[in-house]
Amino acid sequence: MPPRRALCFAVLLAATACLRPALQPVPTDRPIIIAHRGASGHRPEHTVAAYTLAVEMGADFIEPDLVSTKDGVLVARHENEIGGTTDVASKFPERRTRKVVDGDTMTGWFTEDFTLAELRMLRARERLSFRSHAYDGQFPIPTFDEVLALADSLGRARGRVVGVYPETKHPSYHRAIGLPLEPALLASLRARGLDRRDAPVYIQSFEDGNLRALRGQTRVRLVYLVSERALTPARLRDIATFADGVGVNQRLVVAPDSAAVPSRVIRDAHDAGLQVHVWTLRSEPVFLAARYGGDPVAEVREMVRLGVDGIFGDFPDVVARGLDLAPTRR
């Protein structure tokens, strides 16, 4: 291209970029809303429909749990066993098998036994019997790259960044079978310019070894999902050496009975320099603690009063109401 034409082309590109409105960042003046598996209280979990609805309801982050296919592609499923969340049993009945995953013996169908092309043939279904099954059989399994593209598209449509909050599921197991999750995860983030400290991304894991290794490989913020009950100040200071936050069950913040006194976990975590994101708020009576008198918004508001930095919820619309945010979808 001649120099003058190249210069004009560069000027045109710059002008186009200037005309594109800048996206508003993820809010920092309130707890972030993390759509747990998407708006999974309303649509089958880990589907484009669930993620899209979550953003329409006000979610700041969408959460894809990541597992691997046989050919090394990351897909969004809560577990590598997919018998309960897809129609795999009717389409591949002969693939049913038994495996030991992180010490637990499981029987079913596993993503690592299927290529991406085979998984494309499946459709998602609702996992819980008491939630709506009206959308069963309608939505395919998305890849992580598709989730990242969706977040970018949804953010541009609403004019505010949509973050992603991937969880590495069973990372040691995947590594042991020759399908490590981390290289593909980081490659996807880097391809979109998201491997940076201020990216709208958190990587979460229940395995501290997984996060300790990632600490030296990425600048993205890391969150350790806590399953231990004795979360002492010393343990929190240790976690702060490899993570930026802790994801804690809300029962570690305050017990379910009406007379329970909140613990010190939020205060101690903040003293250690850690953010605190609580999981998982659900609106149904089977999940909602008695202390909230049947009102799921009351649970959100208590978590806010106690000082959490983020809230995982199956119903992002309920979390948004608890934060007194104007509804974005009716």
Q: Of 42, 46, 78, 174, which residue is the catalytic one?
A: 78
CB of 111 closer than 8 Å to CB of 179: no
Query: Phi/psi of residue 81, each to 5°?
Result: -85, 120
- Asked if residues 193 and 224 have their Cβ atoms less than 8 Å apart, the reply is no
Strands (E), 162-305: 163-164, 167-168, 202-205, 221-226, 245-249, 275-281
User: Do 265 and 306 contact (CB within 8 A), yes or no?
Assistant: no
Cβ atoms of 245 and 202 within 8 Å: the answer is yes
Please report, for residues 19, 77, 126, 207, the alpha-carbon distance to residue 108 in angstroms, rounded to integers and kept in the order given: 52, 14, 17, 24
Handedness of CA 224, 226, 227, 228 (dihedral sign): positive
Q: Give the whole-angstrom CA distance, residue 303 versus residue 318.
A: 13
Distances in Å between the alpha carbon of 285 and those of 57, 281, 292?
21, 11, 10
**Residue 78 annotated among the catalytic residues of the structure:** yes
Q: Is 236 exposed, middle or buried (0-12, 13-18, 19+ CB in 10 A)?
A: buried
Task: Give catalytic residue positions.
Answer: 36, 78
